[in-house]
Structure 1
């Protein structure tokens, strides 16, 4: 987990807006901006990088944000951005829809679609919190998400409230988390976002009762897997047995997921091991012990799998990461 904080008030007033625009031009999610406060813009942004997921919070004077077709051609991270407005008002034009959002409402952007956002506030600063999630991490087909783009989503209660509260707690104080917690926290955020979408689109499916039950089962299975990664016997068969279902039904449950159950187990174990290799507090722990800690019974198999996933041997990754961190 990496934290980045930017405060425009630490720069000379005349340089603030240009610096903000430059940062936007360097981001994978390219945007342009305009503001009536460009001469002395106040903006405070905090980013938490949770492996592939980025959680962020922003407080700023009124601004306009633009993502055009030309910017999309230059860079498209193929992600969804969930934004919860905390203070102020946002006029959003995206996906062929226009809407006005107030405090406590969520909206979703698609990085592959142009949009314009006009953020306003008559009392104080605009404030919002959100998360950027790669599309490949959401366990729902894109057409399900597309139905919610441009539609206000309640963020004070229900599934929206759960996601909103988690984001606010995470951006409010991340000091109690270890750097290696980033991957797990990113998965939690992705699951909450997926559950939010499933909840608000379930009634539009042909079987509105079966989909929430399927989604609930998938979330329980994912949580079970995360809690048993250290078990070397964890496999699709043992996962199915623990949930009193057949292996074939387990595979059907995950047909629309981005990864099979076996791939999910492998990837989560690999991500946990990678986090331990990058942990200064564990630099003296043998690599074979870290591998065993996350269910890899054979050190040689772990080394081959790690090299295949990250392009280098575990020991080389540890040396490079810890050297860069010094």
Structure 2
């Protein structure tokens, strides 16, 4: 499709799952941009009636990232209005919650008799099963927001606790700041084509748990969320923290505990349910990253030592021994087997 670039994991071939899609109206003639954008949004997100004062030269970009059952969309748009009508709902309803984070510009949402006005850093929850009016006012030519699309059945919170939050401005303090940081990192990773298919399978539950903790807090600030989901949300954030720092040789349980204001002892207790110690989790993720890079044709000229160093292994002998213990071959042997099609 013109204007659309699909990103697969590095080294992927035709027929492999699509990780992310980037669409840009600037790839099309100005006269075709707005109609094409409306078609893409209706197909990939939720059908709405969209209008804009910039139809003659509509400049917008969208990043779509699939994470197992959920989806993340990052939109950069000019001033526009979207209306979800009862007719459109009857025609197509994916029955999803949509949690939007405003990153720039001013956003307004009208749902029934409630109205909300949001600025950068605010969240708002709405759903596909009820009418709404949405408008975004661009600042410096564009507004930007990231939307987390969650099937209703994916949230371990009862609807009678979540639905009162629909259409309400939700502040991003506490768990909201953690969720916002996670969403930002996912968009950056999608744009950089640095996510693999296994990464998305692992990150989907992480993002869901963070969203659950965030919505649970707003549904009942008096701790409505049970202890187990709260702990899982903390573990999920710690895993994201680890993922972003795998290349740092100084990453350790002490560093992780300090960053999350918990004791090392409590950190180890959290990981008892992960079937691995903290150190083992870090080592496994580093090895998985190295294995991925060793099998990537685009990195064929990069040395084994450089790949190991990229992911936090500073001693070649230790890396070779650890890699062989995990995969039954040295890094060099594994790379040769991949390149010759013997794996």
Shorter-chain TM-score bucket reads: 0.5 to 0.7
Aligned to 2:146: 129
SS at match of 1:116: strand
Aligned to 1:167: 183
Deviations 1:132-184 (A, max 9, x none): 011111110112111211211112x3111111110001101233321221121
The CA RMSD measured in Å over matched residues stands at 2.6
Structure 2 unaligned spans of 5+: 1-17, 238-268, 271-291, 296-325, 327-343
Distance 2:201 2:136 in 1: 31
Aligned to 1:110: 127
Structure 1 unaligned spans of 5+: 224-241, 244-278, 282-292, 294-326
Contact 2:209–2:232, Cα closer than 8 Å, also in 1 = no
Aligned to 1:41: 58
TM-score normalised over the length of structure 2? 0.60
For residue 230 of structure 2, the aligned residue among 198, 216, 226 is 216
For residue 108 of structure 2, the aligned residue among 71, 91, 112 is 91
Question: Residue 202 of structure 1: CA displacement?
Answer: 2.0
Aligned to 2:203: 185
Aligned to 1:311: none
Distance 1:59 1:28 in 2: 14
Aligned to 2:11: none
Contact 1:25–1:32, Cα closer than 8 Å, also in 2 = no
4+ runs deviating over 4 angstroms: 217-223
Aligned to 1:232: none
Deviations 1:257-284 (A, max 9, x none): xxxxxxxxxxxxxxxxxxxxxx9x6xxx
Question: Residue 11 of structure 1: CA displacement?
Answer: 0.2
Alignment of 1:1-326 (within 5 A): 2-27=19-44, 29-155=46-172, 157-174=173-190, 175-203=193-221, 208-209=222-223, 211-217=225-231, 219=233
Contact 1:37–1:61, Cα closer than 8 Å, also in 2 = yes
Deviations 1:73-132 (A, max 9, x none): 111111111111111101101253111111110001111011111100243311111210
